[in-house]
Amino acid sequence: MKKHLKLLIIYLIVVFVPTIIGSSYFIHLRSIINLNERINEANWIASIHESHWDKFISGTVTSLEMIAMTAKTLFDDLEQMKPLLEKAHQSDPRYGGIYLVGKNGGIIAGSNQHLPESTYIEKELVNEVTKTKDVIISNDSFSLENGQTVIGLAYPILAENNELMAVSLALLRIDYVENLMKVLTPDSKILLLSANENILMTFNMKETEKIEDLTNEEKWVTYPIERLPWKLKVKVDEKEKTVIDSLMIIGIHLILTHILFLLINYLLLKRQAAIERKENEAQKLELVGTLAASTAHEIRNPLTGIKGLVQLLSEKYDEPTDRMYFSVIDKEIERINEIVSEFLILGKPTAQKMEIVDISGVLRELYPLILSEATFNRVHLHYEVATDPILVKCTKDQMKQVILNITRNAFEAMKGEIKSEGILTVELRKENHLCEIIITDTGVGINEKVIEQIFTPFYTSKETGTGLGLVVCKRILQSFNGEILITSEEHKGTTVILKLPLISSS
């Protein structure tokens, strides 16, 4: 139950919460990006229509300029301009009519009779042109007698002294422009506003949409027309692909967070398996140690009696052959006693008399023993021990036992060397508040698969080994808060590092 609750909490932390937070953030970000894309699209549509209007007005102004130049030459009889105006009107369907208007606002000549003289529009435009002496466009649309809705564009005809002679007036058909704009962008909703915010044209708009708040920049894009005091308003497309995008974002987050959850779950399972394996090994070692210790005590008692009787018999029988037999028996009894001693160390730890020991002094004391064994095994010994005291807290005799056990294993590993004599290196150094004893040999090395099992009780690769030597060494070092590390490469040698915490000499 506890395990399932832990997994549920991890799932909530790794999957549920990040998915909600991450998805919300990216959905919001995607919504902003989507809005910007739609605003950019509306700006692009507005720029197309602005460009079209610019060309449209430029073309109309050019036509009115040509009419004005012709009107100057025929100023004494402007009635002759009527055929030219009719021809210009008929050649371009965008016009609702083209007229010449006098300074008083009266129509002098026109391409048709759809603009009655009584209308105010020509008088208003003439007044504006008189004031500005420049091209003027009407601020509002108006209807002709034939029902066409138009806007007016007036061009001044000026004399040499810059006095207004007359005005050429073109009426631009709104329906023609609307049709053309619908062809360019058939689905876009567009408003054309005059300088005083009057609606001149609408495209794809309902009556209810016309009164909508036009200042809302999230719904409308405003684009000024360069040659006119007008502006275009294009409605931003309201269609958002938020549902599909949201599902995709949530799906991606779920996939990524589940992958992370599975990875974390795998690492936790791996860690739990390692902990359980260590616990099993510890339980196994404790069980073996308890059994070994109890057995060792039972063996030692009769073993002591046997040794005493053998000594008495060796005094009684002094023949050379008998002495040889007794010598062999005594050696084997000693061997049994050593094994039993190792069994006792494997047992439940007893109270040890810890003391502050100079490890460099211990190694100097062991030097003659290690050197003699190196000479016997034809091994070169490199001994690098500092003269300065290196203090650790341990049991001196047990520390000697560990060092001698490791060096003995090194000598045995180098017995098979035929090509050249082996080299044993013993170093002592300080490293990050630790004392390190490094013992390196050039022996046969240890296989990668085997090195994982060397601290398993009773595992040995030697014919006469007990499989307890390294286990005992590890147990002793752990009782001193130290550790043992072994690295090896086949046919190249092995390095054993014994680490113990230092004690300040001050």
Structure tokens at 407: 């060096």
Cβ atoms within 10 A of the Cβ of 156, count?
22
Alpha helices in 200-319 (DSSP H): 207-210, 242-316
* Per-residue confidence (pLDDT) for residue 458, from 0 to 100: 66
> Is 453 in a helix, a strand, or coil?
coil
Distant-in-sequence contacts of 326-330, Cβ < 8 A, 24+ apart:
none
Q: Give the DSSP letter string of 415-428.
A: TT--SS-EEEEEEE
Structure tokens at 466: 């007990």
Cβ atoms within 10 A of the Cβ of 134, count?
10
> Is 377 in a helix, a strand, or coil?
coil
| pLDDT by 10s per residue, the chain, length 506 | 667 777 788 878 878 888 888 888 877 787 888 878 888 888 888 888 888 878 888 888 888 888 888 887 777 776 777 888 888 888 888 888 888 888 777 788 888 877 765 566 667 777 888 888 888 887 777 778 787 888 888 888 888 888 888 888 888 888 887 777 777 777 788 887 777 777 777 777 766 555 555 656 667 888 888 777 778 888 887 765 567 777 887 888 888 888 888 888 888 888 888 888 777 766 766 676 666 666 666 676 677 777 777 777 777 777 777 777 777 787 777 767 766 666 666 555 555 678 898 999 999 888 888 888 888 888 899 998 878 888 898 888 888 888 988 998 888 888 765 456 788 999 998 888 889 999 999 888 887 777 777 777 666 666 556 666 788 888 888 888 899 998 888 888 889 999 999 986 54
Q: At what angle do helices 2-11 and 242-316 cross, to 10 degrees?
A: 140
> Is 357 in a helix, a strand, or coil?
strand
* Per-residue confidence (pLDDT) for residue 418, from 0 to 100: 47
Helices vs strands, H then E, count in the chain: 12, 17
**Rounded Cα–Cα distance for residues 469 and 458 (Å):** 9
- 369-386, pLDDT tens digit by residue? 888 888 888 889 999 887
Comparing CA positions, the residue from 500, 363, 491, 368 lying closest to residue 426 is 363
Please report, as a single letter, which amino acid is at residue 117: E
* Per-residue confidence (pLDDT) for residue 218, from 0 to 100: 65
In degrees rounded to 5, what are phi and psi of residue 421? -70, 145
* Per-residue confidence (pLDDT) for residue 285, from 0 to 100: 65
* Per-residue confidence (pLDDT) for residue 385, from 0 to 100: 85
**Rounded Cα–Cα distance for residues 143 and 115 (Å):** 9
> Is 42 in a helix, a strand, or coil?
helix
**CB contact at 8 A, 411 and 373:** yes
**CB contact at 8 A, 213 and 219:** yes
**Rounded Cα–Cα distance for residues 276 and 196 (Å):** 84
Segment holding 67, helix H or strand E: helix 17-73
- 306-315, pLDDT tens digit by residue? 777 777 777 7
* Per-residue confidence (pLDDT) for residue 288, from 0 to 100: 66
Token pair 């005594």: residue: 330
**Rounded Cα–Cα distance for residues 230 and 233 (Å):** 10
User: How does 366-405 read in b/e, with b if 16+ C-beta sit within 10 Å?
Assistant: beeebeebbeebebebebebeeeebbbebbbebbbbbbeb
**Rounded Cα–Cα distance for residues 497 and 348 (Å):** 25
**Pairing assessment for the beta strands 422-430 and 379-384 based on DSSP bridges:** parallel
